[in-house]
Structure 1
Amino acid sequence: MNAIEGGDAQKVIEMLQQEDAKDNDFFLRVKLDDDGRLCNVFWRDSMMKEDYDIFGDVMVFDTTYRTNKYNLICAPFVGINHHWKNVMFGCAFLSDEKVFPETRHRLCLWHLHQNAVSRFAKLRSQNSFKDAFKKCLSGCVDENEFESCWSSMISDYKLENHPWFNRLYGLKEKWCTALSKDLFSAGILSSQISESTNHAIGFSAKKNTSLTDFFGIFKEMLKNWRNKEQKDEFQCSRSIPESALPLTGMLKHASEVYTLTLFRDFEAEFLKSISSSSTLILVEDKMMVYNVSSHDKDGLSHRVIFDCLSNLIKCSCKKFEECGFLCYHCLRVLHINSIVSIPESYIKKRWTKFAKSKIWDKFNSTVGRSEKFRDCIPWRHEMARKYYNLVLQCQENKEARMIVEEGYNRDSVAINALMSSLTITEQSDTSIHSNSSHIVQDPTHSVTKERSQRIKGHFQKSKKKKIDASNSIQAKEFGSMSPNIHLL
């Protein structure tokens, strides 16, 4: 009731200001219209900034969701950490989706594949078409192979004059993986990770969700993400990866530097390198050129150039450029040249156990400078010892355990109240105040591109009244359903 009486937008601003009071590096910007109504709001905390500094080489910015009753655009800035899990860089609510027009926009491969096989009844049952289309989406090595595969598919299935496929071909730079291998994307296939993010946010948030409720959902989701990272960090620091192969040579080196998640990816490439074959086709001074072939059903061959003096290596598949760790073609060549550790040039810090070492160093230096903190260490150790002994003393008695738990809950409430009052007292003035002369009015209902919710796909539309194709837009044609795979 307090949130309703205070106004939805005003309450959210106050909640954000409370976060600002607790975080010295919190950032908040709010834009109002001439009537004092909320138009845009962006915020990020200090941990989001630190994560962006480390993992900001890849960021997904997806504005396709409406998760509130004002139809404002929910715009999370999302990346992936060194455990290949979601990490938040910031979040915004926008009334206008014309943002970042100069960035590289991508169409979701999952959406494209689902729409292609669902729109055309005659092709739906043909596995050969599905395979051919999937090959065009993500199975081609370079542009020449893509053009050849696309032409063959269009010709074989008589799609030369089909407008959907013609429009799709015109947007090939936005979805064909063969045309983006020079771009580091951490291996993300289009917006798959943003689908995961929006699924997590939109799971509870609906089109009638207030901004206040959404902020609560957002904070809970963020807390869960960070708890998962803490567990991953702990497990990574205390665990030694298990492998079907002996942990020697490059595999042992990978287990020492990579997180558990990335070690599994490296191990998969290492296993492929063992079963592949290589042929030395050219030697010129210190440069050696190999053809490396796999023995799987594709039987693809890639050219690897190796500088034996500097240990520099390059493969035509461009996996390192795209994903940040070496492909099995390169590993094969390194192995036959008796290289027993991963060359330093090909260990991307963002994938290692030490990705956050800068934050650790910053924390340690801050602790080192703080006499006040050092003075607290003996007291902290003494209190930890006392409470630990108390827990041991009462652990076998239910009534004693209840006394300790009740005391903890009572003390936590009192201490939190005390610390909050001290923080608010010390808070400096911000650009937007919560006094009566600066009340932020709730936003009007935004109307953008005729979309008030997540666009439904072909399978969902078929259950309802059909929509005139002439009124559809590219967003409806090339983006529809959310995948079942979520990177959480």
Structure 2
Amino acid sequence: MDSYRAMCNEAGGEENLRHTKKDHLNYWTRLKMKNIEGGDAQAISKIMYQELANDPEFFFRFRLNKEGKLRALFWRDSMMREDYSIYGDVVVFDTTYRTNRYNLICALIVGINNHWKNCMFGCAFIGDEKIESFVWLLETFKKSMGGKCPISIFTDQDQAMCSAIQKVTFKDIHKGVKVTLFGSLKRDKDFKRTFSYCLKRCVTEVEFEAVWNSMIEKYNLQEDSWFQRIYDLKEKWCPALSKDFFSAGILSSQRSESTNHAIGFRANRSTSLTEFYSIFKACIQRWRSTEKHDEFLCSKSTASSAIPLSGLLKHASEIYTLSLFTYFEEKFGSLLNLTATKLNALARTLKLLDGYATTASEYYTYIQ
């Protein structure tokens, strides 16, 4: 229908076309059938070999079952390998997207570029979420990238996926917390705000423990097995407890989920593999076009700031992209405000004490 409306617009109206809407849809159906002639698996295989002919660094692997039917598929192009060599310290691996007529599970491997936007490292379809399937996928991905492993990998709480990651020797696994709330908690805004604070905003372990324990006690969740389980995994998702690894600003697997949304807006349960590949490729082309635009802006623009560019801030403006500098400036400004607030509070305290104490011991006694 998109193509039909575009042709109507170009012709100056539907009445100026030489075919009807029904003719158009019938032709489109025949065209799709021609694309998957001989079976969708054979069609996607043909596409992969065509991509390899056009891009010698293109990489793909199939896995068949005992009946010779497609069980798993992985691919990545040369640009994905180049991106991984630059931005592959941190990856997000998730399987939340399942939109195709064969009920295959789509697994996306995503990273973040220097403009803090998604970049694709690889895509796969697997038949199930068993350890064996994940091991095959991760070993294939690792092989396609010359054996290089990321420093950290973010995923959900799927145990089979985590076991597979450990088997393939990915170093650090960081789990996202996917929250499904029921009953009164689903409608309690204060609870959602407190829980979100634990997930994203706690700075120290002491602060996290205080906020978490207060929340558990307030909402009587001491016996809740789900909250107990994620608390036992707190080192994997709480930012206050995971400051010793590079995360590129990722707190959960939301990067992959946003990728799923970006790719899946035109796909549905009837989407074939060949149709999905076309949607996927168009999405990646949009991402890369956006990255080129960001690169152009960085090359032609100079970072500006409401704070005087001197010292550390000036150095950051010279080495960071515009997106990252904006984030750095925000955190830098917050730090300055916090420091100023503490200094003002200290000055007021000293001024107040001046009328009450004359010796160091008296100052100490007053503060106590």
Q: TM-score, normalised by structure 2?
A: 0.69
- Contact 1:275–1:295 (CA<8 Å) still a contact in 2? no
1:10-409 superposed matches below 5 A? 10-97=42-129, 98=131, 99=134, 100-102=164-166, 105-109=173-177, 111-112=178-179, 115-116=180-181, 119-121=182-184, 124-125=187-188, 127=190, 129-277=191-339
Deviation (angstroms), 1:188: 0.9
Question: Aligned partners of 1:264 and 1:45: how far apart in 2?
Answer: 31
Q: Return closer, same or farther for 1:238/1:173 CA change in 2, 3 Å cut-off.
A: same
- Contact 2:57–2:77 (CA<8 Å) still a contact in 1? yes
The one-letter code sitting in structure 2 at the alignment partner of 1:159 is L
Structure 1 gaps of 5+ residues are: 279-291, 297-488
Question: Aligned partners of 1:163 and 1:36: how far apart in 2?
Answer: 43
C-alpha deviations, 1:112-149, integer Å up to 9, x for none?
2xx34xx231673452x333322322232343432333
- Contact 1:42–1:92 (CA<8 Å) still a contact in 2? yes
Moved more, 229-238 or 266-275: 266-275
Deviation (angstroms), 1:295: 8.9
Q: Return closer, same or farther for 1:213/1:186 CA change in 2, 3 Å cut-off.
A: same
- Contact 1:108–1:189 (CA<8 Å) still a contact in 2? yes
Question: Aligned partners of 2:236 and 2:104: how far apart in 1?
Answer: 26
The one-letter code sitting in structure 1 at the alignment partner of 2:279 is I
Normalized per residue, the structure richer in helix is: 2
Deviation (angstroms), 1:162: 3.0
User: How many matched pairs?
Assistant: 277
1:401-480 superposed matches below 5 A? none
Question: Aligned partners of 1:157 and 1:295: how far apart in 2?
Answer: 37
Give secondary structure in 1 for the equivalent of 2:90.
Answer: coil
Question: Aligned partners of 1:218 and 1:122: how far apart in 2?
Answer: 37
Q: TM-score, normalised by structure 1?
A: 0.53
Structure 2 gaps of 5+ residues are: 1-32, 135-163, 346-368
Give secondary structure in 2 for the equivalent of 1:71.
Answer: coil
C-alpha deviations, 1:30-68, integer Å up to 9, x for none?
111232211111111111101000000010011122121
Q: Return closer, same or farther for 1:157/1:35 CA change in 2, 3 Å cut-off.
A: closer
- Contact 2:64–2:72 (CA<8 Å) still a contact in 1? yes
Q: Return closer, same or farther for 1:148/1:269 CA change in 2, 3 Å cut-off.
A: closer
Q: Return closer, same or farther for 1:140/1:52 CA change in 2, 3 Å cut-off.
A: same
The one-letter code sitting in structure 1 at the alignment partner of 2:333 is L
Question: Aligned partners of 1:163 and 1:66: how far apart in 2?
Answer: 28
Deviation (angstroms), 1:7: 1.0
- Contact 1:33–1:39 (CA<8 Å) still a contact in 2? yes
Deviation (angstroms), 1:106: 4.7
> 1:486: which partner in 2?
none
Question: Aligned partners of 1:121 and 1:294: how far apart in 2?
Answer: 43
The one-letter code sitting in structure 2 at the alignment partner of 1:43 is W
> 1:322: which partner in 2?
none
Question: Aligned partners of 1:29 and 1:83: how far apart in 2?
Answer: 31
Give secondary structure in 1 for the equivalent of 2:36.
Answer: helix
The one-letter code sitting in structure 2 at the alignment partner of 1:14 is K
- Contact 2:36–2:274 (CA<8 Å) still a contact in 1? no
Q: Return closer, same or farther for 1:294/1:53 CA change in 2, 3 Å cut-off.
A: farther
- Contact 2:37–2:43 (CA<8 Å) still a contact in 1? no
Deviation (angstroms), 1:244: 1.7
Backbone CA RMSD of aligned residues = 2.5
Q: Return closer, same or farther for 1:223/1:138 CA change in 2, 3 Å cut-off.
A: same
Question: Aligned partners of 1:270 and 1:179: how far apart in 2?
Answer: 22
C-alpha deviations, 1:397-421, integer Å up to 9, x for none?
xxxxxxxxxxxxxxxxxxxxxxxxx
Instruction: Specify which structure has the bigger relative contact order, considering alpha-carbon pairs within 8 angstroms and separated by 6 or more residues.
Output: 1
C-alpha deviations, 1:358-406, integer Å up to 9, x for none?
xxxxxxxxxxxxxxxxxxxxxxxxxxxxxxxxxxxxxxxxxxxxxxxxx
Q: Return closer, same or farther for 1:258/1:32 CA change in 2, 3 Å cut-off.
A: same
> 1:465: which partner in 2?
none
The one-letter code sitting in structure 1 at the alignment partner of 2:187 is R
Among all aligned residue pairs of Structure 1 and Structure 2, give the percentage whose two residues are the same amino acid: 55
- Contact 1:42–1:91 (CA<8 Å) still a contact in 2? yes
Question: Aligned partners of 2:235 and 2:216: how far apart in 1?
Answer: 18
